[in-house]
Amino acid sequence: MARRIDIVEVGPRDGLQNDPADLTVSQKLEFISRLEEAGVRRMESGSFVNPKAVPKMADSAAVFAGVDRSKATRHIALALNEKGVRRAIDAGADEINFVLVASETFGRRNQGMSPQESADMLAQCAPLILEAGIPLSATISVAFGDPFDGDVDIAVVGNLAAQAQRAGVNELALGDTIGVATPWEVRAAIERVRMEAPDVYLRMHFHDTRGAGLANVAAAVEAGVDVIDASCGGIGGCPFAPAATGNVATEDVVYMLERAGFETGLDLGKLIETAHWLETVLQHPVSSSLSRAGAFPTKKVPA
C-alpha cells in the first residue's frame, strides 16, 4: 500500500493574497472549482483579516458563500484574532487556521503581535472555534527565519507549539514563510515540536524562495509528516518584488511524491492545466516547474 500524503491547497489564499492581479469572486470560485476537479479536498479558500492590510482577501465572505457545498471539500479560513474568527464562523468555514508568529519584528509588521501575544490571542479565540464545533489548526509563521530579525530560535517555535496544543489546536503547521529553511533544520524543528506538542498532527508550509522547497517537503515526508501545504502554479510571489517568491507548487510536490510512490489523490494533468489557466487570469507566468517542463512517466513504486 502506498503511503498517503495530503496536500492542503493554499493558492486561493496565500497565493492570491500576494499576487498583483485582482481576481473577481467568480474567478476565485472558478479557481477553487478547478482545484476540486483536480482532486483537492482541503484548501485555504480565504482569509478574515483586516481588509485594509490585505485587500485581496476582502471578498472572502463572498467566496465562502459561493463555493459548491455539494462537494466534499473542506474550506479553511485563516484568522488572526477574535474578530476574524467570528467572521470566519459566520462565513461557514469548515476549518479555521490561526496564525502564530515565531519572531518579533515580522510579528509586529504582519499582525501587530509579538510571538507571545499571538499565542495569547490563540488561547483567547480557541474556545469560540471549538465550541462552534469547527476544527482548529494553526500555522507558526517565520518558524525558520525572519526577514528582519534573522534566524529564529527553535525554542520559541517549541514553546509556541506547546501553547497551541494546550489551546486545543488539532493540527499545527510550521511555516517557512520567507523560504530560508534547509532539510536539516526542518527535521530538527519537527523533532522539537513533537517533543513539545506530541498530540498535534504536523503539517508543513514551505516557500521556494531559495530553491530548497521540495528538499524540505521530502525531508518532512521522510520524517513522517503526512500533510503539506502547496499552491497551484507556485503562486504567492510578487513579480515586482523579486525576493518574494511563492509557496511550493502543488504540481511540483505532486510530481515528486507520486513518482516516488506516494499517493496524493491529485491529478497532475489537471493541476498543470489549472496552472496554465491561472497564467491567463493573472496575466503573468507562474513559477512552478511542472507547468513549464510537463510531467514525466510516473514511477508508481511505493517509497
Residue positions annotated with a catalytic role: 238
Angle among Cα 249, 247, 99 to the nearest 5 degrees reads 140
DSSP E strand boundaries for 156-272: 171-176, 201-206, 227-230
Q: Of these, 215, 235, 282, 286, which contacts its own copies (CB under 8 A)?
A: 215
Residue 290 near its own copies by CB under 8 A: yes
Residue with Cβ nearer its own copies (138 or 272): 272
Residue with Cβ nearer its own copies (168 or 183): 183
Among positions 189-208, residues that touch its own copies (CB under 8 A) are: 208
Residue 158 near its own copies by CB under 8 A: no
Residue with Cβ nearer its own copies (133 or 242): 242
Q: How far is the CB of 190 from its own copies (least distance, A)?
A: 15
Contacting range for its own copies; rule: CB under 8 A; set: 94-102, 129-137, 164-172, 294-302 = 294-302
Residue 155 near its own copies by CB under 8 A: no
Q: Is the dihedral of CA 261, 262, 266, 270 positive or negative?
A: negative
Residue with Cβ nearer its own copies (90 or 153): 153
User: From residue 252 to residue 281, what is the string marking binding to its own copies with x (rule CB under 8 A)?
Assistant: x--xxx-xxx--------------------
Residue with Cβ nearer its own copies (16 or 249): 249
Contacting range for its own copies; rule: CB under 8 A; set: 34-42, 86-94, 173-181, 196-204 = 173-181
Residue 105 near its own copies by CB under 8 A: no
Q: How far is the CB of 122 from its own copies (least distance, A)?
A: 27
Grid cell of 191 as nine digits = 523533532
Dihedrals phi, psi of 101, to nearest 5 degrees: -130, 135
Grid cell of 6 as nine digits = 495530503
Residue with Cβ nearer its own copies (4 or 69): 4
Contacts of 20 (CB under 8 A, 6+ apart): 238, 239, 240, 282, 284
Grid cell of 123 as nine digits = 488561547
Among positions 126-145, residues that touch its own copies (CB under 8 A) are: 145
DSSP state at residue 56: G
Q: How far is the CB of 237 from its own copies (least distance, A)?
A: 10
Residue 27 near its own copies by CB under 8 A: no
Binding residues for its own copies, per CB under 8 A?
145, 150-151, 178-180, 182-185, 208-215, 217-219, 222, 242-245, 248-249, 252, 255-257, 259-261, 288-290, 292-294, 296-297, 299, 303
